[in-house]
Every structure is written in structure tokens, then in C-alpha cells.
Amino acid sequence: MASGVQIDVGGVAIGGGAPVVVQSMTLTKTHDVEATTAQIAALASAGCEVVRCAVPKIEDAEALKRIVRLSPLPVIADIHFNASLALKAIEAGVAAVRINPGNIGGPDKVKLVVDAAKKAGIAMRIGANSGSLPAHLQELARRDQAEALVAAALEEVELLEKLDYRDFKISVKATHVPTMIRAYRMLAAKVPYPLHLGVTEAGTPFAGAIKSAVGIGSLLADGIGDTFRVSLTADPVREVEVAWEILKSLGLRERGPVMIACPSCGRDNVGVENLAVVVEERLKAYPQAFEVAVMGCAVNGPGEAGDADFGIAGGRDVGFLYAHGRVLKKVSSDILIDELFHEIDRWIEAGMPR
Ligand code: SF4
């Protein structure tokens, strides 16, 4: 069901079997080049692969040239209602523009933007959003919002195909997770273009991460979706962290270690929650992909940690260190974590034999 068409966004392939791409969006005023590029740098270090910047005003469009030059990531300009801002953004060298062909000022303006995008050889993101469906689809939306989202997106697709432009990806984002899932499933069955997934206004980090993981994760698990943004009311770096956890949990991409930890129970003599927090923090320094299990006791620890590359099982005075399903050593509890990382470092130095 993955999309057949592949597009290129500043050297990043999206769709057509390419790995699912992580996106985020800057929260800074785009015309504040220093703040915007600092945020892009932070997003890039967290693993963001394509970044989007809002371009509501002319000064934002004018700042794009410098942002594009300084950004380590392809920049997508996010534009509504104003075709001349889209033209300016394309002129500034952005990797793609996100527009809604339904609100950019009529078919002539759409053609102007499409012609400029074609000439620059760049892609677009189009699509509908549950909060901004066109008036003529409102009645359908009241009956079935997912149908209305798909209808709106297909109208945009038709408009661009008539202009002989097929270099785009599509989103049909909704705040209601089941609606969003249904809309993307319907759309994926109808078009070959790459899909940009998202749950709009997902919320604060806890609720938003769960909603995004359920909505985006359900679709990705079915092979639907080529790129996505986890929208959170938070520092966008958190969006990228959540995005990678979704991809890693589905086994779609690898980035750094994966930690599993037991939920703890009455047999936990070590305080596994604290142990897990410390291990998780120290694992952030590793770019390599491997799995570490943190278990509260040695009763179930070895079995449950058996698939991990490394594992520790805590105890009141002594704990166990495991590697690849076997006990490596028995260690005094106060140095258990240091020993774990010592062994991990040795294993990495040896070329990570499994
Ligand atoms: Fe309980 Fe031990 Fe299992 Fe953790 S590993 S949940 S402490 S039995």
C-alpha cells in the first residue's frame, strides 16, 4: 500500500519505498533568522530530516534565503492565502512549499505557484485539514469528516494533475484520531502519491505523543505513510524524539539504542524506575542501534531481557549483567550501571559482534 510515486525534498526522498521521513516545524518567528536557524540546528541534532517554517508575512519570505543557506536540513515554506509569498519562497530556494490550493487565491494563482515550482524543480505538500475544509464540503463533513477530507484532497490533486504537475505529497490531517486514520486509509487506496501523516493539534507532550503514536503508528504499521510530523504543544525537539520512538517501536527505522524496562512489581528490590531513568539518559550519548534491558530483579530478568544485546537485573546488594541472552557477571549493585556501560563500550569497540 506504500505510495508508488517518489518525490525529492532537498535531497531527501519521500515515498516510493524510501524510509519514512521525520519532519518537524519551527516555532520561532521565521523572520528572526538567528532564532530560527538555532532551532533548526537543534531539530537536526535530534534527528529531524526535513523542517517546515511558517511564512505568514513578507519579512518571513525575505528571511528564507538566509535560512535556506544556513539550514542543514531541507526547508519547506508553509504558506496560506498568499500566492506571492509562495513565489517569493520558491525564489529564495526552499526545498518545497506547503500550500492549500483551495485557499491560495483561485486557479490562476495556483497555476503561477505550480509553474514556479516546476521551473525550480521543487515539490509541494498539499492537502486538507479538519479545521479548514472548503465551504462546499461542510455538509459532507458534518455527515462524514473523513470523506470530506479525502474529497477536498482529491480536488486539489485534480487541480495539480490538470496542470501536469505530480511532484507533491498529500496530507488529510484531523484532530480526531479515528477520523484521521480512516481518511488516510481511504486516500491511500485512491492515489499513488506520497502521504504526509499527522494528527492536528494533538496536544501537550503526554496526550499528544499518545494520540500521534496511535494515529500515525496504526497507519505506518499498515504500510501507509511516507513522512510525518508529530504535532505537540511543546519544544519541537520533543516532536522529533516522539517521532523516532514511533519509528523504532515499529522497527521501521533505527536511530540510537532502544531501551526496554520492566514495569516493576513487588519483587523489585532495586528501584527499577530510577535505574531506567539513569540508563536512558546515558544511552542518549550513543548513535549506535542496540537494545538494552533494565529489569528489577533476577527472577524474570534473564528471560525477559534475553533478546536484548545487554541487560541488567537489579538486586538489593548484587545485580546481574547480561549480554546477548547470557549472564556475563554478577556485580555489586552500586557499580551495576557503570559496569553495563563499560561492557557496552567494549562491545562497540570490538565492532558490535552479535
Ligand atoms: Fe517484577 Fe522482576 Fe519482572 Fe521487574 S523483572 S516486573 S521486578 S518480576
CATH number at residue 329: 3.30.413.10
Torsion of CA 299, 305, 309, 310, to 10 degrees: -40
Residue having the nearest C-alpha atom to atom 8 of ligand 1:
300
Please give the grid coordinates belonging to residue 213. Answer: 503514536
What is the 281 CA–ligand 1 centroid distance (Å)?
Answer: 21
Query: Ligand 1 pocket, 262 CB below 6 A?
Result: yes
Distance CA 15, CA 202 (A): 24
Q: Which atom of ligand 1 is nearest to the CA of 263?
A: 6
Q: Which atom of ligand 1 is nearest to the CA of 297?
A: 2
Same-domain pairing of 57 and 124? yes
Same-domain pairing of 106 and 21? yes
- pLDDT computed for residue 301 by the predictor: 63
Query: Ligand 1 pocket, 300 CB below 6 A?
Result: yes
Of 249, 266, 289, which one is at a domain's C-terminal end?
Answer: 249
Q: How many CB atoms sit inside 10 A of residue 325's CB?
A: 13
What is the 295 CA–ligand 1 centroid distance (Å)?
Answer: 6
Number of domains in the chain: 2
Same-domain pairing of 229 and 319? no
CA distances 338 to 242, 280, 286, 333, Å, are 27, 13, 15, 10
Q: Which atom of ligand 1 is nearest to the CA of 266?
A: 1
Q: Which atom of ligand 1 is nearest to the CA of 265?
A: 1
Query: Ligand 1 pocket, 277 CB below 6 A?
Result: no
- pLDDT computed for residue 269 by the predictor: 81
Mutate to test the pocket of ligand 1, among 295, 304, 316, 320 (most ligand atoms within 8 A of CB): 295
Same-domain pairing of 245 and 264? no
- pLDDT computed for residue 2 by the predictor: 57
- pLDDT computed for residue 305 by the predictor: 72
Residue having the nearest C-alpha atom to atom 1 of ligand 1:
265
Strand partners, 228: 22, 197
Residue pointed to by grid coordinates 488516510: 184
Residue having the nearest C-alpha atom to atom 2 of ligand 1:
297
What is the 296 CA–ligand 1 centroid distance (Å)?
Answer: 5
- pLDDT computed for residue 303 by the predictor: 73
In a domain, 1, yes or no: no
Query: Ligand 1 pocket, 86 CB below 6 A?
Result: no
Same-domain pairing of 243 and 114? yes
Same-domain pairing of 35 and 170? yes
Query: Ligand 1 pocket, 311 CB below 6 A?
Result: no
The reply, when asked if residue 297 is annotated as ligand binding, is yes
Residue pointed to by grid coordinates 470523506: 147
In a domain, 234, yes or no: yes
Same-domain pairing of 37 and 141? yes
Mutate to test the pocket of ligand 1, among 299, 320, 322 (most ligand atoms within 8 A of CB): 299
In a domain, 106, yes or no: yes
In a domain, 114, yes or no: yes
Residue pointed to by grid coordinates 520492566: 262
Q: Which residues of 229-262 are buried (b: 16+ CB within 10 A; e: fewer)?
A: bbbbebbbbbbbbbbbbbbbeeeebebbbbbebb
Same-domain pairing of 12 and 94? yes
Same-domain pairing of 211 and 263? no
Same-domain pairing of 23 and 158? yes
In a domain, 124, yes or no: yes
Same-domain pairing of 224 and 289? no
Same-domain pairing of 236 and 263? no
Of 232, 249, 266, which one is at a domain's C-terminal end?
Answer: 249
CA distances 219 to 33, 37, 103, 216, 239, Å, are 35, 32, 28, 5, 18
Q: Which domain holds residue 281?
A: 258-349
In a domain, 207, yes or no: yes
What is the 298 CA–ligand 1 centroid distance (Å)?
Answer: 8
CATH number at residue 117: 3.20.20.20
What tens-digit pLDDT sequence spans the chain (354 residues)?
Answer: 457 899 999 999 999 999 999 999 999 999 999 999 999 999 999 999 999 999 999 999 999 999 999 999 999 999 998 999 999 999 999 999 999 988 888 889 999 999 999 999 999 999 999 888 889 999 999 999 999 999 999 999 999 999 999 999 999 999 999 999 999 999 999 999 999 999 988 789 999 999 999 999 999 999 999 999 999 999 999 999 999 999 999 999 999 999 999 999 998 888 899 999 999 999 999 999 999 999 998 877 667 777 899 999 988 889 999 999 888 999 999 999 999 999 999 999 999 998
In a domain, 184, yes or no: yes
What is the 60 CA–ligand 1 centroid distance (Å)?
Answer: 54
Q: What is the ipTM of this complex?
A: 0.99
- DSSP assignments along 229-275, one per residue: E---SS-HHHHHHHHHHHHHHTTS---S-EEEE----TT--S-HHHH
Contacts of 281 (CB under 8 A, 6+ apart): none
Model-level pTM? 0.91
Of 211, 226, 249, which one is at a domain's C-terminal end?
Answer: 249
Q: Which atom of ligand 1 is nearest to the CA of 262?
A: 4
